Amino acid sequence: MSRFAVEPEFSHDQPARIGVLLVNLGTPDAPTAAAVKPYLRQFLSDPRVVEIPKLLWQLILRGVILNVRPKKSAHKYASIWSKEGSPLQVWTQKQARLLKGYLGERLQVPLSFAVGMRYGEPSIAAGLDTLKTAGCDRILLMPLYPQYAASTTATACDAAFTQLMRYRNQPALRTVRSFHDHAGYIDALAGQVRAHWQREGRGDHLLMSFHGLPRYTLTKGDPYFCHCHKTARLLADALELDPDQYTLSFQSRFGKAEWLKPYTADVLTKLGKAGVGRLDVICPGFAADCLETLEEIAIEGKETFLTAGGGSFRYIACLNDNGDWIKVLADLVERELSGWLAPDWQAEQATGLARESRERARKLGASK
Ligand SMILES: C=CC1=C(C)c2cc3[nH]c(cc4nc(cc5[nH]c(cc1n2)c(C)c5CCC(=O)O)C(CCC(=O)O)=C4C)c(C)c3C=C
Ligand SMILES: [Fe+2]
Ligand SMILES: [Fe+2]
């Protein structure tokens, strides 16, 4: 039996479409240990995420971590879950709808949109299937990670190319690598901070907390650390902050190994002990609010800061459905698609192929 999918007959007999797949990390289906366990198993079995020898790691993962962590994590998920579901899922789906509305009006080309999650549902494979079934012969993979990391961006691309291996009639695939220094993204972040200042008054210090990574990723050549620093510097410039008015830190350390420093929890303790009155906190690496921002920062982080003696902790929401952010996504998509939109010969060729195909189908039908 062939390992390639059987393509629908005359599948090229339809107008060519362009597909956009918005990719994010993914989230469990429910805030329960039973739902968190398979999600964590898939996530933490990814060799791009945990880079220790597979056999040893699977022993630790299945023997210890998957027996303890799902229950603890489920409890945390329950504290942030909304009526509509997991915030990461809800925001990502809304971003796809808003982008579709915005670009559908701007670009006069047949476009399809789908969401693909690297872990959990809807998977990247399912998202690509949806776009392919809709007739997309060119697909743009748009990971919603501003800063490139092998454990996020690269593994999303791996999953997409793995799915392409199953297709006989493969679409063309483009990928967005990073947008950590995109002017519109920096402006959208700055706008989010300014709007918060307008509502609450200006804080005394701004903490920019990014998701962490093991330190060895930096020495092995992952640009993530440098991308985070560049985003932070550009955001500080846009807000006209002096170096002593903001701090960059890395959160969500997993395991005992050394991760990128300074750790967010340590910085919160230090700022609290130093008696900082009004602390503003933003997580510029997360395009959507999720467990890591709403629970780890807005709940746990707040407690750390206040316990250490800090005044007030003011969490600034992620870009979520911010209109300027949707325009950033649209700009990234338009830039990538410009090469695909230009040549007329593709449309002409598609029409020609469709005609030939219809004629062939007619002849086949007539000879039966
Ligand atoms: C070795 C472990 C992990 C690495 C490396 C890692 C990198 C990484 N993660 C994100 C973004 C998110 N992570 C989220 C949750 C999460 N992350 C890890 C571990 C690593 N992340 C775990 C075990 C979990 C699950 C929750 C838990 O049990 O603690 C999320 C939130 C998902 C949600 O459902 O809301 C995001 C988003 C980035 C950007 C990154 C590397 C830069
Ligand atoms: Fe993570
Ligand atoms: Fe966390």
Residue range 141-156, pLDDT digits in tens: 999 999 999 999 999 9
Index of the ligand 1 atom closest to the CA of residue 49: 5
The pLDDT, as a whole number, for residue 344 is: 56
Q: What's the CA-to-centroid distance between 34 and ligand 2, angstroms?
A: 19
Please give the average per-residue pLDDT across 292-301, as a whole number: 98
The pLDDT, as a whole number, for residue 9 is: 46
ipTM: 0.98
For residue 104, is pLDDT > 60? Answer: yes
pLDDT band for position 10 (50/70/90)?
very low
Pocket probe for ligand 1: among 215, 226, 291, 296, the residue whose CB has the most ligand atoms within 8 Å is 291
Given this chain, do its domains 17-180+323-343 and 183-315 carry the same CATH topology? yes
Check whether domain 17-180+323-343 has CATH 3.90.1150.10, yes or no: no
Q: What's the CA-to-centroid distance between 92 and ligand 3, angstroms?
A: 19
Distance CA 60, CA 48 (A): 17
pLDDT in tens, 160-214: 999 999 999 999 999 999 999 999 999 999 999 999 999 999 999 999 999 999 9
- pTM here is 0.92
pLDDT in tens, 249-287: 999 999 999 999 999 999 999 999 999 999 999 999 999
The pLDDT, as a whole number, for residue 108 is: 80
What's the CATH class of domain 183-315?
alpha beta
Q: Is 27 in the pocket of ligand 1 (CB under 6 A)?
A: yes
The protein residue with its alpha carbon nearest to ligand 1, atom 19, reads: 254
The pLDDT, as a whole number, for residue 349 is: 62
**Where along the chain do its domains lie?**
17-180+323-343, 183-315
Q: Is 49 in the pocket of ligand 1 (CB under 6 A)?
A: yes
